[in-house]
Structure 1
């Protein structure tokens, strides 16, 4: 039931690893890159709660509750992922990112809700960790695709303002994997029907309508559990850090480590491929860390809060170390530490949340929870990154990675706010 996340992560890894490269190739200034990303989190802020609300109220005899949204998101994501690297202007690339992120969001949160639907509380840490394991595989493979395309002879450079063929081929492969893996989950996973189908339909009939839907969503926001609010603080700092990485890892590392700034040069494009390789490392390590967590959570009960806090500290240290290293190979160590954080971010908060909300509202609350992911990204895109790293550290673009590390350490400390034992420990 989690295999579709392989494709979702292919989409996210290619988006996160190479959209900034596409923006730079099309002439974007480094400081303008976060603003070009803003459509993605803005879309998530709107789409996720609505999709979660609708999926809670959906039941189809053949496709179930969550799978219709998997299919819609898969079709739209595949189209957007294929055409994104063929953008010839910045506005086209930003529009492609907007469509891609919106489409992936349609599929993603129903996948989270599906795990909570089908697993008892005692198995949810294990279930979300298994998802993270699959995500790690997808991140590692997808992040290395442009490099691999270059190794088999596909051109890695192009005329100024043109995306190299290596990137185009990588996105095309990602599109195929995304659709095929989500389709596999749709065809092989059953869903449980509502306990009382007639009552389910009656309540849906009573509450149907555009304004009723938004009213219920806002009521759920107003009455969200305390644990969800506390996790929101953790999520804010966590996702501010990773949005900073996705926006600035390519310009920061190509400039600070490799000294390459000409986006049409072989030096820059080789360095950008290397950045993808380093980002692949965090995916690979997240896979192994998730594998370890999967083994542990299948055997013993864990303290979710403690695991998450220590994992975030590790990732924060990895980001900060990027400023101090001199040899490119050492970036693998930095991103290995980041991978530990990534594995935990994709599993522990959802396990804690799913133990604290009404199962009948799992979809809408998973969607609302996404607000704590997209709001920090919106703040970052509107100038938060540029303002904070220059104010706190200095003008060099590599200080964005130091800012990301500081944010992850604050996220780790924020776990101390969570005191509900039902949320922090396996049931």
Structure 2
């Protein structure tokens, strides 16, 4: 099977964009990260409040929607063009409308099945908006500005994650909004946070849609012919999934690394709320003040690891230059694994912030170093295509986690969710050790004048990567 990966402008030299043009094209990520952060920090809390017990199973919505939506949306957006709306912006807007509505509805559901259904809708909608944002950097920016483009996205990812994760805690402690409610009802602090997040999501993405212009295909006749030849949702699904059988060796090695690291992350996102509320706050009563204080503190913990990841990303290129990308990723994953394991030994909630420092270091590396190693192993004409396929190895471990973590928590750990976090920590350490087996084809090379401040793989990739 022949795969053709198109560039928005194959031969035309792309003009340099101003600071504010890059700011505008990246601003939508603030809203997208708001949505993801609210989801990661609060959905388990909502499930428990509504009487859910099989939390890992309910969370299967997130990876399954990513598995289906991201590669197909990327494939379809490559083959979309509107003189008025461009190539990526129609997907930004449709996803933003759907995700904002889902954020407004999610904390107001009255039954568990409604909450699970809304997670499917919300996660699918966020993915519709998010996937084309990564491609937009490659579409619009010349190679020498891509690091700046990813850095701008990183800034908005950090700001959105820190604020959104902390929002229920801030509303309770700064504005006296109630963080408790009667049985089966979501606390007002969570409901208001999701409402605010829905508004921020839509307005931030709308800003990018209205303030960003895209380039038309250089040869419209060829574009239309190729679009007609490869059109269709099913064709997009087929071509995306067939790529898993054509992976280069380095990609196969990184797939195993990704499996164990994302298994650890998913254990954290699912079980941190029940683990902290039961192990440290010593309550499982979702109507109690103590439980909701613990659930709010989970948001603060998540804000801390996201903030640390933004700072840690500044150091990764220097560490990689001094050692290697493999050693850097191994070191960071070890820190994350120890951070998750340390939660078992914590009794003071404030000490959890120290655990989150290790998690944040690992998160920074997970968002960047594997992509840097992968970039050097891929053919330049299939770079974007294989990057989409690589998303499968974020999704597959999440599906496995959703299927097995509930069983382990119930039957092996006797309901002690904190032991599931320990299992996640061990998985992350295994991932770090497996990194040393990866063939990293390119020597690290970051020009001295290059400001390596991005969480994207651009900062750690070889000079002038073909993306």
Regarding TM over 0.5, the answer is yes
Decide whether the 8 Å contact of 2:88 with 2:133 is kept in 1: yes
Decide whether the 8 Å contact of 2:241 with 2:389 is kept in 1: no
Residue in 2 aligned with 1:350? Answer: 371
TM-score normalized with structure 2 length: 0.83
SS in 2 for 1:378: helix
Q: CA deviation at 1:118?
A: 4.3
Alignment deviations for residues 124-183 of structure 1 (CA, whole Å, 9 cap, x no partner): 566545533422221111111001111202111111100011100000111111112222
Closer/same/farther in 2, CA of residues 305 and 65 from structure 1, 3 Å limit: farther
Task: Give RMSD over aligned pairs.
Answer: 2.7
Decide whether the 8 Å contact of 1:237 with 1:376 is kept in 2: yes
* Partners of 2:310 and 2:418 in 1: CA distance: 27
Are residues 1:56 and 2:59 paired? no
Decide whether the 8 Å contact of 2:335 with 2:359 is kept in 1: yes
Are residues 1:26 and 2:50 paired? yes
Alignment deviations for residues 308-340 of structure 1 (CA, whole Å, 9 cap, x no partner): 322222111110111112221110000111111
TM-score normalized with structure 1 length: 0.90
1:96 to 106, 112, 118: 118
Closer/same/farther in 2, CA of residues 209 and 268 from structure 1, 3 Å limit: closer
Unmatched segments (≥5 aa) in structure 1? none
Shifted more, 56-65 versus 280-289: the winner is: 56-65
Shifted more, 311-320 versus 128-137: the winner is: 128-137
* Partners of 1:223 and 1:56 in 2: CA distance: 21
The structure whose RCO (Cα within 8 Å, separation 6+) is larger is 1
Decide whether the 8 Å contact of 1:56 with 1:364 is kept in 2: no
Residue in 2 aligned with 1:419? Answer: 439
* Partners of 2:443 and 2:141 in 1: CA distance: 15
* Partners of 2:428 and 2:74 in 1: CA distance: 27
Q: CA deviation at 1:277?
A: 1.1
Decide whether the 8 Å contact of 1:156 with 1:166 is kept in 2: yes
Say which structure is richer in helix: 1
Closer/same/farther in 2, CA of residues 292 and 416 from structure 1, 3 Å limit: closer
Are residues 1:202 and 2:238 paired? no
Residue in 2 aligned with 1:147? Answer: 169
- How many residue pairs get aligned? The number is 422
Q: CA deviation at 1:192?
A: 4.0
1:229 to 252, 256, 262: 252
Unmatched segments (≥5 aa) in structure 2? 1-24, 445-460
Decide whether the 8 Å contact of 2:373 with 2:440 is kept in 1: no
Shifted more, 177-186 versus 321-330: the winner is: 177-186
Q: CA deviation at 1:237?
A: 1.4
Decide whether the 8 Å contact of 2:335 with 2:362 is kept in 1: yes
Decide whether the 8 Å contact of 1:252 with 1:398 is kept in 2: yes
Q: CA deviation at 1:28?
A: 1.4
Decide whether the 8 Å contact of 1:313 with 1:409 is kept in 2: yes
